[in-house]
Amino acid sequence: MEMFFYGFMQRAFQASLLIAIIAPILGLFLILRRQSLMADTLSHVSLVGIALGFLLNLNPTFTTLIVVMVVAVILEYLRIEFKSYSEVSLAILMSGGLALALVLMSFVDGGTNTSIDQFLFGSIVTISPEQVQILAALCVISVVMYFVFRKPMYVLTFDEDTAFTAGLPVRLMSICFNVLVGVAIAVIMPIAGSLLVSAILILPAAIAMRMSKHFDYVILVGIVIGIIGMLSGLSVSYYAGTPAGATIALVFIALFVVTSIGKQAAKQFRKKNDIV
């Protein structure tokens, strides 16, 4: 329990709880819209924002937000234009974003390797009170938007053509969702790291989808999974001295494997005992 006496760990736990609420809300829609790779792309491209921040001597969080929002809109355009092979444009943007970020970083004076490392791998224990406040605001926005737009998003996610004929502004909704994901990635990235942010967003929802057949319950189960994964990962990383973001991602993967095996075993059991 000693870890709770440290201010940085208290903030880390607060941030973890907030991320655990945000992640399944965004993650579920990302998975169902087959945009899991988009989260990865945005997290790589967000490094350009970090590099621009250092280069222009601006707050990197601010420049990242701008860059990620612009790219989120571009991604929606590419998704529509290259519907049948949209992963190609994602792959180009992902590697292009990382390459551009590294080139821009080389123009920044002084040693920036530490800084870029921090954004690549993240550091939840160095989180500032301001970052916790921004996360809290993002959490409130995500939850409110989920409750307000749950029904339109359900139909949009089920089938875009059906949503369009039902009179929903499909394009606008998609862009707004992408921008929200972009903002979430920009805010979570310094904490979880560019390389792991998409895993933290996607995995709780992916696990919850295997455990619940009700749409709303998936989000709730995802939040519970998120809390278990984030808090246990953080605790393990504290005692084992391992990187927090990586440990959390590994805990989520372990949970995914365990629930998959458990579900398969339950299925076999039901089949064996003829339970419908």
Residues touching another protein, count (CB under 8 A)? 23
76 DSSP assignment: H
What's the closest the beta carbon of residue 41 comes to another protein, in angstroms?
Answer: 22
Does the protein bind another protein through residue 223 (CB under 8 A)?
no
CB of 33 to another protein, least distance (A): 10
Nearest to 185 by CA among 32, 42, 38, 31: 42
Q: How far is CA 204 from CA 21, 31, 123, 172, 252, in A?
A: 10, 11, 20, 27, 7
Minimal distance in Å, beta carbon 89 to another protein? 19
Q: Is the dihedral of CA 186, 189, 190, 195 positive or negative?
A: negative
For residues 14 and 128, is the Cβ–Cβ distance under 8 A? no
- Indicate whether 238 belongs to the interface with another protein (CB under 8 A): no
Q: Using CA atoms, how far apart are residues 236 and 234, in angstroms rounded to an integer?
A: 6
By C-beta, is 108 or 155 nearer to another protein? 155
**Of these, 55, 155, 176, 253, which contacts another protein (CB under 8 A)?**
155
Contact letters for another protein, residues 18-37 (x by CB under 8 A): ----------x---x-----
- As a dihedral over the C-alpha atoms of residue 136, residue 176, residue 32, residue 196, rounded to 10 degrees, the angle is -50
190 is written with which tokens?
Answer: 């310094």
Given candidates 2, 85, 214, 241, which one binds another protein under the rule CB under 8 A? 214
By beta-carbon proximity to another protein, the closer residue of 165 and 260 is 165
- Judged by beta carbon, residue 2 or residue 161, the one nearer another protein is 161
Stretch that binds another protein, among 47-55, 68-76, 102-110, 161-169 (CB under 8 A): 161-169
- Give the number of other Cβ atoms within 10 Å of residue 241's Cβ: 8
Binding site for another protein (CB under 8 A): 28, 32, 148, 151-152, 154-155, 157-159, 161-162, 164-167, 208-209, 212-215, 218
